[in-house]
Structure 1
Amino acid sequence: MELSGRIAKSTPGPLGNENCPRVTISQAFLQHGGPMEFQDRLAALATKVSNQASAIGTEEATKNAFVMPFISSILGYDVFDPLEVVPEFTADVGIKKGEKVDYAIMRDAEVQILIECKASTGAPKIEHASQLFRYFATTNARIAALTNGVIWQFFTDLDAPNKMDAKPFLVLDLLDIDDTLIPEVQKLSKDSFDLDSIISAAEELKYVGALKREIAGQFREPSDEWIKFFTQRVYDGSYTAKVREQFTSLVTKASRQFLTESVNDRLKTALGAGAGVAIPVAAEATATVSSEPATQADLERDTEIETTLEELEGYQIVKAIACGETKPHRVTHRDAKSYFAVLLDDNNRKPIARLHFNGRQKYLGLLDEQKVETRHAIDELDEIYEHADAIREAVVRYR
């Protein structure tokens, strides 16, 4: 929908670098009619942010390295055309004269999106958005963005007309992209700008996103209320301090196991396996099996394979690095009993890396041109980035 002229505000309808863990956009979106070009641009910028964030130390560097590319390649506006993008946008606001917002995106000579930037070294906070609050009330903008180049927080005026909300309706983390938000981000782009659709979906996005972040936080570090909530549903005795201490570790363990099992179930579904059917994890496992003893042997062998969250996060790091040389959907994985393989084109003859995470010491396995593997000991997952060049070289060999 193309909008032109002055957009009047109206009353809304009813009712968070190399140390970052992962960059991911699912294959499912690619395979079901998603905009390939838009998604590829988003994945490329996410990889750039992942690789360079630790080297960016100032607000100006953040603007040049991350924010302007986002405005240009993702939103599709010409950052060098003052009719589309106005840097250091100024409007006198009450007693605050000459204050500036970092960027104003224009459509038909009217402000549509205001952007305030902070250095990528710190998370964007609502305390950083004072100019956005003031400018939002005095311009035609219905959308405001606060960003550190890595995390983009988008605001509108759901709570009160002409007044920017204190909480964002959309949060895009380029180091951990939520696939469900990709179509909503695209609505903000120049070619697909649809203000009515954005505003109508904003309320649901705002609360669903906030709930997802809260649930994720509880899985990472459960609060006393969360622990008590579940304890009282499974434990019939009194909820004493001793019981709370005992169930704190139990609730945490159960939460992590639940996530792991959910991930495994999704992997089985993605690979086309039905309930109770083992996932094919290596070339020898994909051969046709006709005898019952052989089938039972395969099942017994594969039930010993457990794909852990740590392996999946390691895979996402390797994928983020590999995407500098290839498209994201080409980087896949297979879990085996002895290692977790990252492959190009789901081909075990094109290994990019192997993750040996089953022992006390973790290793990153890298293979040379003759498929000879060298294992590199790592203590933390972010040490994988130290081998980025070798990972990219492996991708280039098979390209």
Structure 2
Amino acid sequence: MFIEAKGYSANLNNHCPQLSRYYNATPEVTVGAITNGREWRFFTDLVNKNIMDSEPFLTIKFDGSPQDASHQLAQFHHDKFQPEALRALAEENIYLNAFKASITTVLRECDADFVKYIAGRANIQRTFTAKFIEGVQPIMKQALAKAISDMVTSSLSTPTPEEPPQIAPVVLIDPAAPTIDPTNSKIITTANERRVLEICQELLPDEDLHGKDTESYFTVLYQGKSNRWMVRYWGDKKRSSVAFCMPLTDAHRIEIKRSKLEIGAGDTIMLDRPEHLLRLTGLLDDALAFSKNDDNFKRGASASAAS
């Protein structure tokens, strides 16, 4: 995370390009922040990977009206800092602000599309011509103002119960969002890691395969046994890579070369996208056979990769 600190009287608009240059030149950085002490702006790269967004996903002004931002600021604390979780927060804030702005505009302008939508929901038996929409637009504005007024009045006049009813929160599930281990906040399973497991299960549909994430790497296990791992995936490095449980043979190296993939240190294989694993079906079959063979796991077996 980069933090650009400016003087108390500085206009942050003049200095955001400087932060952007630092951010764009350092792919390892996920979050950029700029502050003059009175105001904080937080940026990430939701639009283009490794390119800082032009708009902040979170702005906090300490010299303005009070804001309940403590729960958001807490995620930037050193011992809770999780880049993938902050990206999820950024996306949530972007959607929230965009939806709020759109709703405000619709309610204030009461445009033709909104009038047509409400008239349709109200089951008005008329042809929605431009002339009709224009004619009922003032009536729609009155109805909208009265509906909002009635809702506010009803809310204020309703006595507050001693114990408010428990309402289950609405949770929007993003299939691409990372998941955090409830027992260890440092273990964050990304969409790419889940995809690696899905590909292994697709290629070996009748096998008992399980995924297990750690702070360092993601593993695909045979029968859920930690010592019988088949594939290890490192997706949090500058370049993602994968390793198989068995030593690479000459035949394996030929298959990797034909797949247009690179072999890295320690016989890891560069895997820029999880889908590139589909090119290594032969290695995956051999990894399964290696994990199924009990001889590879007997005491004294010369299979260090299985440890």
TM-score range, shorter-chain basis?
0.3 to 0.5
State the structure with bigger RCO (CA 8 A, min sep 6), 1 or 2.
Answer: 1
Q: TM-score, normalised by structure 1?
A: 0.32
Q: TM-score, normalised by structure 2?
A: 0.39
